[in-house]
Amino acid sequence: MTPELSEQEIVRRKSLEELTNMGVNAYPADLFEINVSAKEILEKYTAENQSYTNVSIAGRVMSVRDMGKACFLSLQDSSGRIQLYIRRDDICPGEDKTLYDIVFKKHTYIGDIVGITGYVFTTKVGEISIHATSFKMLSKALKPLPIVKRDDEGNAFDEVTDPEFRYRQRYVDLIINPEVRETFKKRTEIIQSLRNTFNAKGYIEVETPILQPIPGGAAARPFKTHHNTLDMPLYLRIANELYLKRLIVGGFDGVYEFAKDFRNEGMDRTHNPEFTVMEIYVAYKDYNWMMDFTEEMIEKVALDLHRETKIKMGDKEIDFQRPFKRITMYDSIKEHTGIDISEMDEGALRNVCKDLGIHTEKSMGKGKLIDEIFGEKCEGNYIQPTFITDYPIEMSPLCKKHRSKIGLVERFELMVNGKELANAYSELNDPIDQRARFEEQLRLSEKGDDEAMFIDYDFIRALEYGMPPTSGMGIGIDRLAMLMTNSHSIQDVLFFPQMRPENI
């Protein structure tokens, strides 16, 4: 069904029709050469600088102030906004003033994309501007931009801050809310900072399959599809861990991947079914080395983005200066509940959950129960970066047994602002032990745990060829971006977050 047009949309379509009838192409195909940005002019122009006497710039019209035979116009390109001064006699020399009076003045609207050539000057009130000598319509906007309403302190409100509007029409959000563009620029800088760290150490960036015959590498509910030619089920990956470790078996000393992963689970302020994760695996290392490396990596990201380790997150200040606090999982639970669960079996853990008011399911094994206790009573207390170490073996089917603590594994999670940011192991490389762990996961699946891991026989075969001692770490890029940009919802750092369909 075609949506009903607003009055303004009807006016704009009539304007486009009139331009077409006059022989003006509102969507020209020829190249418009750009030699400068708004930001460059505003940062570098001086009255003595003769470098900006012949500029060519293009962007979106954001405001027009009509003064009869001249006007001031605000132009926004990808770098920012700059004022344009357009005078009829400059862009229409001679007798024919049609271009200015009809094409420009009558048929140029806020939102249109135009190209301007001219020279830079400073107005009487001291504003750096471009005096236009030519004007060209590059793309006619048929929908009007929302009017940005601001309070007495200059803060935007109304439609332009409504998440429903902003996330569905991110393209408009990016136009009218410049700070949103800055958030996504910083997200790119975060990824580049990580890449620089890894590449400097000689690690190789790789790609692994998104469609997988077995959804391995994490405990999560997958998305399932069907491959017609092979006549077999396939799954969107929930993690890329098992493929990256195959590459360590193959002889690489260090590999990493920025991957899109997918989990068919709940959505909230910190979870999206499609998310970005960085996983890295380094041979001949353990989780102690990886903790030190993670500190170095995260501290560098903060310094690269903010030139300091202290950042604002809401009303909190988080400091990423090394070293980070370290505490074992059992000690954390004891600290926040007063209960020592280190020697408890599944039955005793169920009683603890009952006493603490924590909901459980019959399908939950010992590992899931401990995870629920930690998540409910401990996790939210860790605002400053903190490594939670030495997890129970039942929680970590891909992790090496602890070298000195029976029943535990060499694992850590990095908690920041009350949420997990990174997860790392001394990787299990014993194929016999790995098979037994997978079989235990199968038993949990048979009990009804729909997040239990599948048995990946090919991965076991790879381990049988021998994988060197290895440490691996995964970090949620979306959550890291939230922290580094002071964003309170994962949807604010995703260009196009998943949403219910709308009627349009």
In this predicted structure, what is the pLDDT of residue 145? 93
Q: Would residue 430 count as lying in a domain?
A: yes
- Do the domain assignments include residue 426? yes
Residue 503 belongs to a domain? no
- Write the CATH number for 40: 2.40.50.140
Do residue 224 and residue 188 come from a single domain? yes
Please state, in angstroms and rounded to a whole number, the distance separating the CA atoms of residues 476 and 96: 61
Q: Which residue has the higher pLDDT, 451 or 138?
A: 138
Q: Which pLDDT does position 152 carry in this prediction?
A: 63
Distance of alpha carbon 88 from alpha carbon 398, whole angstroms: 72
Rounded percentage of the chain residues whose pLDDT exceeds 70: 93
Q: Which residue has the tokens 């909190």?
A: 316
Residue 498, domain member (yes or no): no
Paired strand residues for 311? 318
CA distance 419 to 386: 10
Q: Which of 384, 241, 397 is nearest to 322 (CA)?
A: 384
Residue 501 lies in a domain: no
Q: Please state the domain count of the chain.
A: 4
- Give 455's pLDDT tier (boundaries 50, 70, 90): confident
Amino acid 464: pLDDT: 98
Query: Which residues does 220 contact at the CB level (< 8 Å), separation at least 6?
Result: 238, 239, 263, 264, 265, 451
Domain of residue 76, residue span: 7-139
pLDDT class of 256 with cuts at 50, 70, 90: very high
Is residue 1's pLDDT more than 60? no
Q: Which of 98, 42, 34 is nearest to 74 (CA)?
A: 42
> Residue 63 is encoded by which pair of tokens?
């405001």
Q: Is the pLDDT of residue 424 over 90?
A: yes
Q: What is the pLDDT of residue 50?
A: 77
User: Residues 128, 58: one domain?
Assistant: yes
Q: What is the pLDDT of residues 316-337, one digit of tens each?
A: 999 999 999 999 999 999 999 9
Q: What average pLDDT score do residues 290-311 get? A: 98
Average pLDDT over residues 470-476: 97
Whole-prediction pTM value?
0.90
- Predicted confidence at residue 504, as pLDDT, reads 63
Q: Is the pLDDT of residue 211 over 90?
A: yes
